[in-house]
Structures are given as structure tokens and as C-alpha cells.
Amino acid sequence: MTNRPIYLDNHSTTALDPAVLDAMLPFLRESYGNAASVNHAFGWEAKDAVDRARESVAQALNAEPREIVFTSGATESINLAIKGAAETLRDRGRHIVTCATEHRAVLDVCRRLERDGFGVSYLPVESDGTLSPDRVGEGIRDDTILVSIMHANNETGVVHNIAAIGGLCAARGVLFHTDATQSVGKLPVDAKSMGAALLSCSAHKFHGPKGVGVLRVSRRDPRVKVAAQIDGGGHERGMRSGTLDVPGIVGMARALEIAVARMESDGARMRALRDELRARLLEAGDVVENGAREPRLPHSLNLAFRRVDSVALINDVPGIAVSTGSACSSANPEPSHVIMALGAGPFGSPEERARCSVRFALSRFTTAEEIDRAAGLVRASVEKLRTFSSVGE
């Protein structure tokens, strides 16, 4: 048994699959050429590897290889999608629709655009974290140029009806972007049937390497052009300049191949372990599940423990690696905007609910023994902290 904590923070990042590392190593050791160097064998090897990876990723997302733009991760992909589309379409309109529970990578970009003269509508969600496609339709105006709605939430795991939203946007002639960072590799993601002309994801969420991501940019129905946000060489069809991370791109493609092949079996296994963890923790009493149970990512669980401060709980159980919310907002002491958007529920306020909430996320490497141990440790800590809370009261 290892002394390392039980890792249940897989919304934040995932462990690199050993098979992915094996695929990457040759491009770190021997075939270390630049994919843009076309005058010698090292460059040819790198370019061939990138081309194969591009085809593999495109197939997994039901996109065309030339629609795949490699980036440094989902945050860059989101920035390129939203800022790039806004710059290209600003003469047609300056209104964007998004959701209050989006990742900060989307919300912060939208706030930047607001400072640049764009208008943004932040749609509220229902008390279970779901977003009605009808609400999206109501938010679209004559000057709306872009709708950006995530596929699955990074804190609650709630899955939105992206196909319906994408179809609605297509019917209204509005460009649609989805942040599929949490769903790619966990759920079937078909960019075309979802109507996602722009789709972002990141390799390290499905057991690939950190520092590499993708933006799918539709080439037809509709044909989309996004303005580059990084200049300097015109790589990636002029949309993203910079030397390509060949080992990372190879690793991303391999990780996605594995994730797609194992999606059904891994999903069923993680769902069963997640449900066991949920049942064990709900037995503690006064525990509220944040977000709809279905549709939800198979590995995701978010619980609010009444009369327990989540930070105190996490600090009291160092043997488990979990979080209170998005890793990208972990330096921010404010309560989760995602949980607050669900309302107060049985708590005194949305802020109180958020401060009592803990996010759990499993992976294909999570074991039944780890879930059993984690459930016991969390239950014991909740009981202890509530006793202290009662004494304080």
C-alpha cells in the first residue's frame, strides 16, 4: 500500500497513461525534429507524426483533419475560439451568449470582450445545474454572433443538451462553440452532430500529457474563420503560430484512441465506483448532492456537507486528494461560482452551500479499495468536524 494520497481530483488533471508515455518517448529521444522543418528527415518524421495524430484526433471527434488546430491546451483553444470569432464577426454584431456556470476560461474571456465593447448575456441554470436549450434561444438577439456553452461542467459533472443547443444556433445562423474539455474521452463527442463549429478540449483530462489541446474549427456547414491570437510564422493554417509540441500531440492522439476504445467499459466501472462513494457519503446525513444525477459524467460527484467547511474537511483528510472547485480558480478564496449558481437549496445562502461543497472525480485507475478507504476517511472527518461545530454553537 502506498503512502501517496488517494487521487480523486480527476476533473483537475489525470495521470498519464503508461501507453501514452511509450508513444511519446521516441519523439523526445530520437525523432526530435521540428514539424515545420521540411528539408531533412528529422522534420519529415515529426511532420508525419503530427499528420497521423491530426487524423486520429479528427476521427475521434468526427471532424476533418484540416479542422484540427493544435494548441497548448483548452484555455488557449477557448481564447482562440471566442476572441478569434468575435474579432472576425464584430462587423455583424457584438453580442455573445454564454452560461453562468462556464469555466473561468470562458467567463474571463467574455469579460475581456465586454471591456472591448461587446455585450455578453450570462444565462442562469436551473437549481440542478442544467441549462434549457429554450433559455439559450431566448438569449439570442439579432446582433448575437456567438453562443458558447460547455458540454459537461467541470465541478458538478452535469451534461448539457449540446446537440439541441447547437441545432438551435444553426437554425438562427449563430456560430456555436462548446468547451468539451471534461467530456472528451468520457462521453461520445461528435462535433458535427452536436453542431459545434468550434470545439475545445485538452489532453491532460483524459490521461494524456499537459500542455497540448485542440480547437476544432469547422471548414464547411458552416465555414468558420477565427482571427489568430498568436502571430509569428503562420502555423496551423495561420490560426496558431508556434513550434508544434510533437511529443505532446502524439501523446494526445494516443490517449484519445485509448479513451475512445475503453469508453464504455471505463465509464461503467467508474460509474459503479462513483455510485458506491455517493451512497457511503450520503449515509452521513445532511448531505446534498450538487447538480442533476443524470445526465452526468460517469466519474463525477459533488457533495455539500451541511455544517462542515469544505476547506476544513480537505485539510483534515490529507490522505485524499480532492478539491472545492475548479483548479484554475484554486488561488481565489471566493466560493465556487458554479455551486452558487445552483441557489441556496437547504442551506442558508448560495455562499454557504458553496463553502460546504467538495468535488470528487474518479479515473480509470481508481480502485474499489481506494473508494472504500476514501469513504471511511471522509465520513469520519465529517462526524468529527460536526462535533466541533456543535460545540462551537
356 is an active site residue: no
The residue type found at 81 is: A
Let me know if 294 is exposed, middle or buried by CB neighbors in 10 A (0-12, 13-18, 19+): exposed
CB 9: neighbour CB atoms within 10 A?
19
Q: Which of 99, 110, 169, 328 is catalytic?
A: 328
**Please, what's the b/e burial string for 38-65 (b: 16 or more CB within 10 A of its CB; e: otherwise)?**
eeeeebebbbebbeebbebbbebbebbe
List the catalytic residues: 328
